[in-house]
Structure 1
Amino acid sequence: MLPLALGLGLLLTLPALIAVAHLYVTGQAKLNLIENLHRNLSATLNITASSGCRVCPDAWAHHNGKCYFFSSSGKNWKQSQDHCVTLGGHLVIVNNQEEQTFLSKKAKGEFHWIGLSDLETEGQWIWVDNTPLDKTGPVFWMKRPEGQDEPDNWKVEDPAGEHCACLSDVRGEWHDNSCRKTHKFVCETLAPK
């Protein structure tokens, strides 16, 4: 009777053992697939990271390790800077000709505030990170064939003068403008690593 009971017990547990074996094999195959996907994704991420490619938030453009946000609506200069800060950046600081060219192309023929002003002292242009404008480095003030070049602190529209800089609507050169005016703006921040 005992051999019959053992035989019957084995016969009843055999389907359960087969089901467990099937789950094990299926699970192992899925684990192998996940490990292969992980390996491939890790290799891709390593290649991406080593190539310097970085990803910016939605609506931000990537260029040379920085992320740039070109607004679709206008604000005055201070509101623009405050808005950039809420987005985790600041109004753009232009460091070289290549960056200036990139900004000018992306601005698409519209005025955009940049992070440069002489609000503290007339004629002493300071970036939003408190570094002074290096006049020996790249500066992109508009040069007029006739009349005064920018910055000109024109007081016709605003008796307080023009103390905030923007990219022009023509060639992207810099203009000083009344900080009260409403323009689109460009924010920047470092691209995440």
Structure 2
Amino acid sequence: MYIKFCRIVGSGGNDKLPDEANAKFSVEVKKQQGKDLQVLGNVGLYRTVCLLLSVICLVLLLVIIILCVKFPFQPQVCHGTEKGVEAKEKGSVTEKGIEAKEERFQSTEVCSLQTCQAQYFQQQSQVPACHMCDEGWLHFESSCYFLSRDRMNWDESRDECKKRGADLAVITNKTVQTFLTKKGNLMYWIGLRQRTRNWVWVNNTALGQSYWSGSNRQGDCGLLTGRDPPERSWSSTSCDQYSFYICQRGR
């Protein structure tokens, strides 16, 4: 009886062990498969990101190549500053009367910042007045000028200029002085007046460079005479006298 019972118990235990081992093995296999799938998913994501970055780099490289081909680097050259320099070489006249041929060489002036700025402002001052100022006004440098055809005293002239959004002309350099003197052929009030024995412009700046016609000045208000040379076209008279006037405003 004892032997038979042991066999039954022994045989029953041997039958259950393979099932438990298989179950544990199946769980381990599933866990490993899950880890493998996660690793494969991460590798696929990394590959996708790398591919996207590679495409972006290729597109940027293509853009740079196109820009380099379309806009090649060139030294900056001022517009309108190319000069044709002629070098003529003449040989001595021989007994047969043959002269040496003339050769022409052209050079290009590469501009500096100062040269370009000077050329820019020069071209701006040469733009037709109709494109820069109102009708009846003259454009010069950065201002518009109006030469009147009616006469008023100095204060009335200034009031009239202010109605036009301007003021009596302030002449601060020789180029403006020459321009206004050549454009006018009458006597015009300008924005110059004597206050406490000092000549002051209407913008409250003291008189610097002057263009008086003589040392004998009477009156407290300045006039510009268009018929005189620009170097000495100023005179002064009483501010109550009637004369033409020049207005100035920024364009």
Place the TM-score, normalised by the shorter chain, in its bin: 0.5 to 0.7
Distance 1:83 1:56 in 2: 18
Aligned position for 2:157: 80
Aligned position for 2:24: none
CA deviations over 1:102-130 (Å, ceiling 9, x no partner): 1001111x110000001x313x0010011
Distance 2:237 2:226 in 1: 12
Unaligned runs of 5+ in 2: 1-122
Distance 2:241 2:146 in 1: 20
1:185 aligns with 2:242: no
How many correspondences in the alignment? 123
Aligned equivalent of 1:127, options 189, 198, 201: 201
The amino acid of 1:190's aligned partner reads: G
Aligned position for 2:193: 117
The amino acid of 2:153's aligned partner reads: N
Q: Tell me, what secondary structure is at the counterpart of 2:133? A: coil
TM-score using structure 1 length: 0.60
Distance 2:190 2:196 in 1: 18
Distance 2:193 2:240 in 1: 12
Structure of higher CA gyration radius? 2
The amino acid of 1:175's aligned partner reads: S
TM-score using structure 2 length: 0.46
The amino acid of 2:140's aligned partner reads: H
1:103 aligns with 2:180: yes
- Match runs of 1:24-173 below 5 Å: 52=124, 53=127, 55-108=132-185, 110-118=186-194, 120-122=195-197, 124-134=198-208, 138-143=209-214, 149-150=215-216, 152-153=217-218, 162-168=219-225, 170-171=227-228, 173=233
Contact 2:184/2:227, CA 8 A, preserved across alignment? no
Q: Tell me, what secondary structure is at the counterpart of 2:180? A: helix
Distance 1:186 1:61 in 2: 11
Q: Which moves more between the two structures, 162-171 or 62-71?
A: 162-171
Structure with bigger RCO (C-alpha 8 Å, 6+ apart)? 1
Contact 2:183/2:226, CA 8 A, preserved across alignment? no
Distance 1:101 1:56 in 2: 20
Please report how far the alpha carbon of residue 183 of structure 1 lies from its aligned counterpart in structure 2 after TM superposition: 0.5
Please report how far the alpha carbon of residue 69 of structure 1 lies from its aligned counterpart in structure 2 after TM superposition: 0.3
Unaligned runs of 5+ in 1: 1-50, 144-148, 154-161
Q: Tell me, what secondary structure is at the counterpart of 2:206? A: coil
Runs of 4+ with deviation above 2 angstroms = 51-54
Distance 2:238 2:155 in 1: 11
Q: Tell me, what secondary structure is at the counterpart of 1:170? A: coil
The amino acid of 2:225's aligned partner reads: S
User: Sequence identity, in percent?
Assistant: 32
CA deviations over 1:33-54 (Å, ceiling 9, x no partner): xxxxxxxxxxxxxxxxxx5346
Q: Tell me, what secondary structure is at the counterpart of 1:100? A: helix
